[in-house]
Amino acid sequence: MGDEYAAVKRGKLILKGDKPKAKKRKHKKKENTEGAKVDEDCIKHGGWWKVEKIEDVSGSIAIEFGRNTFILALDNGLFTIGAPHGEGEGPSPEEIFTAFPAGENKFALKSGYGKYLGVSKDGVVTGRSDAVGPMEQWEPVWQDGKTAILSSLNKFMSVNDKDDSIVARNVSANDEDICNIRSNKNREVNRAVVAEEEGDLTEVEVNYVKKFQKFQDKKLRVNEGGAIELKRAKMEGNLHETLLDRRSKMKADRYCK
């Protein structure tokens, strides 16, 4: 079953009524791990870390209930909970899904069999749809460090303790509804953004310009009178654009004309 599952191509999100479009390649960014805090929980799960915001619910994800046990897709369009993995192991191919944004604070899930996960009226989670409609939309809920997933019928996803099937039947989130959404995407530490928010803006611009200027005469060129302009730009949320515009006016810059 694993070979069959892995052989299915995971395409982009298809909304009901839309036509599929050609897939575009994207270059992966390198992970910046310098100085990053070691995530022991991530290591124990084979590099799969806990997602804690909707922006990270995209690409390859796995849904963990219990300890290192994940939702597993069956070839009949139903789901169950997989066997426990050992420490340091991540999910198997049948336990990996592809997530897509599907509206405000919602996402859609596609199994390796090429079908979208939805919920039936009796609360059974199924993966048999070729496109995303209202029943194939899910909403993550984070509270007090815990995660739960809400279906389109406002019921929480959980594991049925009678037969280990995956259902969404509880109106309120109980212990059995608590899960972890996990991703293996690279996590980047954007130190430039941290510096912009916490550091002196004049120093931020100097460091920014140093990355791009040539120094034939050993002199650094920065636009004068920048403190007020940069403060205004930071308050308006367009600091990067202002920095780019200011250095584009400097002839020594090797990228801006």
Q: What is the DSSP letter of 77?
A: S
Q: Report CA torsion sign: 222, 225, 229, 231.
A: positive
| Sheet containing strand 97-101, strands side by side | 49-50, 180-183, 59-64, 97-101, 107-110, 116-119, 125-129
- Which structure tokens are listed for 193? 């953004």
- The answer to whether residues 221 and 209 touch, using CB atoms and an 8 Å cutoff, is yes
At 26 the pLDDT is 55
Provide the H-helix boundaries in the chain. 2-7, 40-44, 191-198, 201-210, 226-236, 239-248
pLDDT, tens digit only, all 257 positions of the chain: 555 665 554 555 666 666 555 555 555 544 444 455 788 999 999 999 999 999 999 999 999 999 999 999 999 999 999 999 999 999 999 999 999 999 889 999 999 999 999 999 999 999 999 999 999 999 999 999 999 999 999 999 999 999 999 999 999 999 999 999 999 998 754 444 444 444 555 665 555 555 555 444 555 555 666 667 766 766 665 666 666 666 566 554 444 44
pTM of the model: 0.63
Measured CA to CA, the distance from residue 148 to residue 156 in angstroms comes to 7
Q: Does domain 37-183 have CATH number 2.80.10.50?
A: yes
What is the distance between the alpha carbons of residues 208 and 245, in angstroms, rounded to a whole number?
12
Question: According to the model, what pLDDT value does residue 103 have?
Answer: 86
Boundaries of every domain in the chain: 37-183, 191-248
pLDDT at 43 (0 to 100): 94
Instruction: Give residue 38's pLDDT.
Output: 85
Question: Are 107 and 54 a contacting pair, CB within 8 Å?
Answer: yes
